[in-house]
Amino acid sequence: MKYIRWFSVHPDVAKHTKFTSMLHRFDHINVVAKFRMGCHWLKCEERVVDRIKIPRSQRLCTLCDFHKCEDEMHIFECPFYNDIRLKFQQLFKHICCDNYQNNNMTIWSWNFSDDNFRQFMNGYQDPSFWLDLAFFLIACRKKRKAGLRALAAQNSLSSSSLDEA
């Protein structure tokens, strides 16, 4: 299982900061814990649609043109969330920055390796990391919901205009 590898303790992180000791509000703990346990709102967890079993590899993100599985890693690379990543730049300061220690230009084309992502998900002993991650996930969840609602409205609009034609 890929996400077990992503969320396991990284050997480079000797004393990683535990998110449970850094977060105090229920909704913050909830969103981070669920994300790490793989029970969240992303499509990769949507096992059955209209009673048809969908393999994980086919649970694709419909909010970008990458045709990639909407898994835990994808929300960190999906262009749909560019504005949120820009807002939460400090979350990525440990993994990518340019020569000027400025990461707002590079995160859009950032490609996580499994090891990068695992290291990232260990929090870098940074006390502010987990709270930032909680806010980041909550913001993504909200934007995704609105985006999917807009898509659904668009689809029903185009199908009704097809009906008329």
Q: Is residue 44 near Zn ion by the rule CB under 5 A?
A: no
Burial class of 13 by CB neighbour count within 10 A (0 to 12, 13 to 18, 19+): middle
- The CA-based angle 30-61-107, given to 5 degrees, is 75
**Which is nearer to Zn ion, 29 or 80 (by Cβ)?**
80
Per CB under 5 A, 64 contacts Zn ion: yes
Residues in the chain, overall count: 165
Examine residue 107 and tell whether it contacts Zn ion (CB under 5 A): no
User: Is 60 among the residues that bind Zn ion (CB under 5 A)?
Assistant: no
- Contact between 29 and 131 (Cβ < 8 Å): no
Asked if 140 touches Zn ion (CB under 5 A), the answer is no
Count, residues near Zn ion per rule CB under 5 A: 4
With tokens 């029903």, the residue in question is 156
Q: Is 75 in the site for Zn ion (CB under 5 A)?
A: no
Taking the least distance from each CB to Zn ion, the nearer of 73 and 78 is 78
Indicate the helix (H) or strand (E) that contains 49: strand 48-49
Q: Applying CB under 5 A, does 78 fall inside the site for Zn ion?
A: yes
Chain residues that interact with Zn ion, rule: CB under 5 A: 61, 63-64, 78
